[in-house]
Structure 1
Amino acid sequence: MAKNYYQDGNTMDWHNGTAKVVLSGQPVIVGAIIGIAQHDVAVDADGELMMTGVFVLPKVAGETWQRGARLWLTKDGKLTSSQKDGTDDNALAGTAWITTNPNDAEGRVRLGF
């Protein structure tokens, strides 16, 4: 193994400095990327975020994505194919795992790719 190997990157330690409990399965924006809470994380507590895998998350209404399309997460926790939401940048989520239709409420995203 390389001398500078740190970890596999499947998870990230994270401190919940928000004012709300983060529930298991909820997306969390960390800088310009996202992770998914592995367990519930109380306010001012430490937890672990999953950084790889395919997750089902709510999506912006009316959008259609093809498999492999680049996806971002809006600040209100919805997947979108738009890198910008108004004037704000969205956090990179990954790629669409399946094709979606405009009336689908959820999409599947492969984190980090």
Structure 2
Amino acid sequence: MKAVYVQRGEALDYANTTGKDIGAGDVVVFGKRIGIAGMPIPAGGLGTIHMTGVFRVPKKASEAIEAGADVYYTEDGFSAAAAVGVSDMEESQVGTAKAGEATVAAEAAPAVAVAAGYAVKKAEAEEGTMMVNLG
């Protein structure tokens, strides 16, 4: 099998089939991963989601997260604890993306946790945000 280079992959074209507008900076569940919308993407429209990079994101309240810890996206904010394993996602309301599809994370069930990346630096329990490196 021969591979054909298509693009670098830091950002991907994304067809918004969710039925809802996606705002710039919104978390988008993309199969068993997340991306961050790089621009407003209207329902039915095409836009860009960032799949790598460092982003400041809301953190789950009262949770301290060490630098380098694996983190997960949940409806309550980013967390070092996966409420539901990624392998269980097909059973959840988020589901698995099919070609050209994904789910806006705000539509996720509260118990769902999606692999997001790792904490770039320590976030104290009282902090409301943290820095995450996607990928």
CA distance in 2 between counterparts of 1:40 and 1:49 reads 10
Identify the residue that residue 83 of structure 1 maps to in structure 2.
82
CA distance in 2 between counterparts of 1:73 and 1:100 reads 15
TM-score by length of 2: 0.73
Deviation at 1:95, TM superposition (A): 0.4
Deviation at 1:4, TM superposition (A): 3.3
- Tell me the amino acid that sits aligned with residue 13 of structure 1: D
TM-score by length of 1: 0.86
Instruction: Give the conservation status (yes or no) of the 8 Å contact 1:28–1:34.
Output: yes
Instruction: Give the conservation status (yes or no) of the 8 Å contact 2:117–2:134.
Output: yes
Identify the residue that residue 98 of structure 2 maps to in structure 1.
none
**Alpha-carbon displacement from aligned partner over 1:39-76 (angstroms, at most 9, x marks no partner):** 001111111101111001111101111111000101x2
| Number of residue pairs the alignment of both structures matches | 110
Deviation at 1:85, TM superposition (A): 4.6
Deviation at 1:21, TM superposition (A): 1.4
More helix by share: 2
Instruction: Give the conservation status (yes or no) of the 8 Å contact 1:41–1:47.
Output: yes
Identify the residue that residue 43 of structure 1 maps to in structure 2.
43
- Tell me the amino acid that sits aligned with residue 98 of structure 1: K
Identify the residue that residue 62 of structure 2 maps to in structure 1.
62
User: Higher relative contact order at CA 8 Å, sep ≥6: structure 1 or structure 2?
Assistant: 2
Instruction: Give the conservation status (yes or no) of the 8 Å contact 1:32–1:90.
Output: no
More strand by share: 1
Instruction: Give the conservation status (yes or no) of the 8 Å contact 2:65–2:80.
Output: yes
Unaligned runs of 5+ in 2: 86-91, 93-110
What secondary structure, in the 3-state scheme, does the structure 2 residue paired with 1:84 have? coil
RMSD: 2.1
Instruction: Give the conservation status (yes or no) of the 8 Å contact 1:11–1:52.
Output: yes
CA distance in 2 between counterparts of 1:54 and 1:45 reads 25
What secondary structure, in the 3-state scheme, does the structure 2 residue paired with 1:109 have? strand
CA distance in 2 between counterparts of 1:93 and 1:30 reads 10
CA distance in 1 between counterparts of 2:22 and 2:130 reads 20
